[in-house]
Amino acid sequence: MFLGKVVGTVWSTKKTDNLENLRFLIINPINLKHKPFSDIVVAADVLGAGVGETVICAYGHAARQAICPANPTKLSIEAAVVGIVDRMDIPENESPET
Amino acid sequence: MFLGKVVGTVWSTKKTDNLENLRFLIINPINLKHKPFSDIVVAADVLGAGVGETVICAYGHAARQAICPANPTKLSIEAAVVGIVDRMDIPENESPET
Amino acid sequence: MFLGKVVGTVWSTKKTDNLENLRFLIINPINLKHKPFSDIVVAADVLGAGVGETVICAYGHAARQAICPANPTKLSIEAAVVGIVDRMDIPENESPET
Amino acid sequence: MFLGKVVGTVWSTKKTDNLENLRFLIINPINLKHKPFSDIVVAADVLGAGVGETVICAYGHAARQAICPANPTKLSIEAAVVGIVDRMDIPENESPET
Amino acid sequence: MFLGKVVGTVWSTKKTDNLENLRFLIINPINLKHKPFSDIVVAADVLGAGVGETVICAYGHAARQAICPANPTKLSIEAAVVGIVDRMDIPENESPET
């Protein structure tokens, strides 16, 4: 899984049928320096993550299992928010800058 | 999933049997700066995405489920257009430049 | 899927049993500038792609489905040539340089 | 699989139901120079790996199989600690610097 | 699949149960310039690959199928050596330097 910051939302009308009524967030992965870089990932979300929040995202089967546990294989997604981050504990002497 | 711009089409006559009659687009992934870089992904498309349009693409099982929901495991593809983007909403203070 | 140029062949005598009689090509992924970079991928091939040809390659289940549709899960490969490229159509004003 | 150093822990209250009671570590992948770089991966852990320890991590089905062997497909994770490293043996003349 | 050079071995006592008695190699992926870079992958090996040898490695299901064909889904690995390279044939005019 990776950590990212929610930076926006993307809308699509013409899409695969199995994606109806899903919410798609634009996620900006973050690293140990907490400086977002310019890469983005589109992730489905059913937890209600808002812009500016830090989230844990998962890829592949894990993502489908988070969005539709009753029938994950029917979904055409491969990234999803699986948790909204409350707190990160990174002891200073373990950071790459020290 | 990732966001990309459709930049072209690729044709292949000699190909895996299960890819007959599929349309393959050349997709240029985009980032938060909206500047396309030179990487490309080949994605199957059944939504009719055109050159210049921004699309959401998915990898793996999700891609096969988008192209052939009746029998996804029979397909030799691992990338597909799953949505054509209408609108992206990225509040300015969440962009990496500010 | 990705586009690549076939740059060579690799031989292995001591290998996983299920890979017997398979042909392994060394593929150099290409980007929109058509300049190959130095990364390589090893891909199985049953289409007869030759050195210098441009091919479409797929990863994972899609690759196994291309090489052995009768029993894909028995194979220890995760990359395969799924098409030999005849033509690419990339309108100039969609290239990242313009 | 990849080698990484455990650099911290991440907590999430609002998360996918199937992730309840799981521990999530922040892992910093390492390379042959043993210099951590700034990328991070979030991995589930049931082995009790501590901050500062070097671990082997696996992605995808392998990760779910490590965390919940009884029912791996029910989990929304795709990275897990699968081993805590005791020792690495890298003969000097095989290092990329020599 | 990718090509790599075996640069060492990694040992772990505290690990996922299904990894008992498996041998884990540290693999340094190589590119067309044959210059190893500093990235590493940990791969399971049952072929007896030795330090300094060039190998073909596979990820995911393909790796599990190579290590335990009788019951691949029970394994928590996602990378394995699937072949020891005897010979690579890369015609000079196909190299990226010319």
pTM of the model: 0.93
- Nearest residue in chain E measured CA to CA from C76: E62
Name the band, by pLDDT with cuts 50, 70 and 90, for residue E35.
Answer: low
Between chains, do A16 and B48 touch, taking CB under 8 Å as contact? no
Q: Please state, in angstroms and rounded to a whole number, the distance separating the CA atoms of residues D62 and D71.
A: 12
Instruction: Provide the pLDDT confidence category of residue B93 given band limits of 50, 70 and 90.
Output: low
Number of structural domains, chain E?
Answer: 1
Residues 6+ apart with CB under 8 A from B82: A15, A16, A19, A76, A77, B1, B47, B55, B56, B57, B58, B62, B63, B66
Per-residue pLDDT, E93 = 65
**pLDDT band, residue A97 (cuts 50/70/90):** very low
A14: number of Cβ within 10 Å: 14
Q: Are C22 and C78 in contact (CB under 8 A)?
A: no
* Total residues found in chain B within this entry: 98
Question: Average pLDDT of D21-28?
Answer: 97
| CB–CB contact A15 B47 (8 Å) | yes
Residues of chain C predicted below pLDDT 50: 97-98
The alpha-helical segments, DSSP class H, found in C1-98 are 61-67
pLDDT score at A31: 87
Residues of D in contact with A83 (CB under 8 A): 12, 14-16, 19, 24
Residue B20 pLDDT: 96
Average pLDDT over residues D18-45: 89
Pairing of strands E23-29, D79-89: unpaired
Measured in angstroms, the CA of B68 and the nearest CA of chain C are apart by 13
Above 70 in pLDDT, residue E69?
yes
Q: How close does chain C come to E1, measured CA to CA in Å?
A: 5
Q: DSSP H helical segments within A3-98, as ranges? A: 61-67
Structural domain contains residue E98: no
Closest to E44 measured CA to CA, from E78, E1, E74: E78
DSSP symbol at D91 = -
In chain A, whose CA is at the least distance from the CA of B3?
Answer: A42
Given this model, what pLDDT does residue D93 score?
A: 65
Which pLDDT does position E97 carry in this prediction? 43
Would you say residue E41 lies in a domain? yes
Give the number of other CB atoms < 10 A from CB of residue C33.
Answer: 12
**The two three-digit tokens of residue E54, written as one number:** 């060039």
C22: closest chain E residue by CA: E83
| Nearest chain C Cα distance for residue B48, angstroms | 16
pLDDT digits (tens, 9 = 90+) for C9-22: 999 999 999 999 99
Condensed to tens digits (0 to 9), the pLDDT of residues A37-65 reads 688 999 999 999 999 999 999 999 999 99
Predicted local confidence at residue D47, as pLDDT: 98
The range of the structural domain enclosing residue C59 comes to 2-94
What is the average pLDDT across B50-79?
97
From chain B, the residues in CB contact with C84 under 8 A are: 12-15
pLDDT score at B57: 98
Q: What is the CATH number of the domain that holds E71?
A: 2.40.50.220
C33 in contact with chain B, both atoms CB, cutoff 8 A: yes
Q: Which residues of E touch D47 (CB under 8 A)?
A: 14-16
Instruction: Reply yes or no on whether the pLDDT at D32 is more than 90.
Output: no
Distance (Å, whole) CA D96 – CA A88: 34
Q: How far is D13 from chain E (nearest CA, A)?
A: 27
Alpha-carbon span D5 to D12, nearest angstrom: 21
Contact at CB, D24 and A33, closer than 8 angstroms: no
With b for 16 or more beta-carbon neighbours within 10 A and e for fewer, the D20-47 pattern comes to eebbbbbbbbbbbeeebeeebbbbbbeb
Comparing A5-9, B28-32, E32-36, the range with the smallest average pLDDT is: E32-36
B10 touches chain C (CB under 8 A): yes
CA–CA gap between residue B84 and residue B26 (Å, rounded) = 14
User: How confident is the prediction for chain A on average, in pLDDT?
Assistant: 92
By three-state DSSP, how is residue A22 classified? coil
For residue C87, which of C56, C66, C45, C49 has the smallest C-alpha distance? C56
Percentage of chain B lying above the pLDDT 90 cut: 84
- The SS3 of residue E51 is coil
Give the per-residue pLDDT at E12.
98
Q: So what's the pLDDT on residue B58? A: 98
